[in-house]
Amino acid sequence: MEELLEILENLKPGVDFPAQTDLIEDHILDSMSVVMLVGELNDAFDIEITPVDVIPENFKTVDAIYAMIQRLSDD
C-alpha cells in the first residue's frame, strides 16, 4: 500500500489520493496517466496488467487499485 501511494504521489503530485472517491469520474486519472501508472505498477509489483483489467472499477479508488494488484499477484 505504501509503495502504491508513493507511485501515485509521483504520478500526480499534490493529490490526496486516499481521500478520493472516484479518480476516474473526477478526471484525476485520465487514460494517459492510467497507462503510466500501469507501467509503474507492472514493474514495482511484478504483475501483468492487461487491457481487460483497465476498467474504471479497478482504478476508481486507491483501495480498488490495491485490490487489483493483490488479485493479479496471486495468479
- The residue range among 1-9, 15-23, 43-51, 62-70 that interacts with another protein, by the rule CB under 8 A, is 43-51
- For residue 26, the minimal CB distance to another protein (Å) is 13
CA 35 to chain centre: 9
Q: What kind and span of H or E run contains 18? A: none
Rounded Cα gap, residues 40 and 4, in angstroms: 9
Which one of residues 49, 68, 69, 72 is an interface residue with another protein (CB under 8 A)? 49
Rounded Cα gap, residues 69 and 31, in angstroms: 18
Residues 3-42 interacting with another protein (rule: CB under 8 A): 27, 30-32, 35-36, 38-39, 42
